[in-house]
């Protein structure tokens, strides 16, 4: 998903839209056929999983028709957003992308 937040600090995104629901470090990728081969990922890179229903939005009244936007954000070791991906079932991918694009610009 394209967003104006790509390349910006992840703190900017979370300040505006609320905290992530989960943070997971990126697993180092090892290449080569021997144990101890070189790794290619800085272990400070993170995946943030974010939902539009979070602590910041919990007080809002919701209708049954309200949808949830779920995103995965990958950050660099410096904390800048590398990319944002919409999380959805295959049959809901287009609708989820359209909805999340309206929530997060």
Phi, psi of 59, deg, nearest 5: -75, -15
**CA-CA distance, 102 to 94, in Å (whole number)?**
13
Q: What pLDDT, on a 0 to 100 scale, did the predictor assign at position 54?
A: 77
- Side by side, which strands form the sheet with 46-51? 22-25, 46-51, 70-75, 81-86
Q: What pLDDT, on a 0 to 100 scale, did the predictor assign at position 71?
A: 96
Q: What pLDDT, on a 0 to 100 scale, did the predictor assign at position 44?
A: 79
**Can you say how many angstroms the Cα of residue 28 is from the centroid of all Cα atoms in its chain?**
19
**Over 70: is that where the pLDDT of 97 sits?**
yes
Q: What pLDDT, on a 0 to 100 scale, did the predictor assign at position 70?
A: 93
Q: What pLDDT, on a 0 to 100 scale, did the predictor assign at position 8?
A: 96
**Reported confidence tier of residue 82, pLDDT bands at 50, 70, 90:** very high
Residue 40 and residue 31 in contact, taking contact as beta carbons nearer than 8 Å: yes
Indicate the pTM of the whole model: 0.78
Grouping H, G, I as helix, E, B as strand and the rest as coil, residue 96 is helix
What torsion, rounded to 10 degrees, do the Cα atoms 5, 21, 102, 60 define?
-130
CA 10 vs CA 16, 29, 94: distances in Å? 10, 23, 25
22-81: pLDDT as tens digits:
999 887 666 666 666 565 555 678 999 999 887 777 666 655 556 789 999 999 989 999
């Amino acid at each position: 998903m394209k967003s104006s937040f790509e390349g910006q600090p992840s703190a900017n995104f979370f300040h505006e839209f609320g905290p992530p629901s989960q943070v997971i470090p990126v697993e180092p990728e090892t290449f080569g056929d021997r144990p101890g081969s070189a790794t290619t990922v800085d272990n400070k890179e993170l995946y943030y999983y974010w939902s539009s229903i979070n602590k910041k939005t919990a007080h809002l009244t919701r209708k049954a028709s309200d949808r949830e936007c779920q995103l995965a954000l990958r950050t660099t070791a410096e904390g800048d957003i590398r990319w944002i991906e919409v999380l959805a079932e295959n049959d809901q991918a287009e609708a989820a992308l359209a909805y999340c694009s309206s929530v997060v610009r």
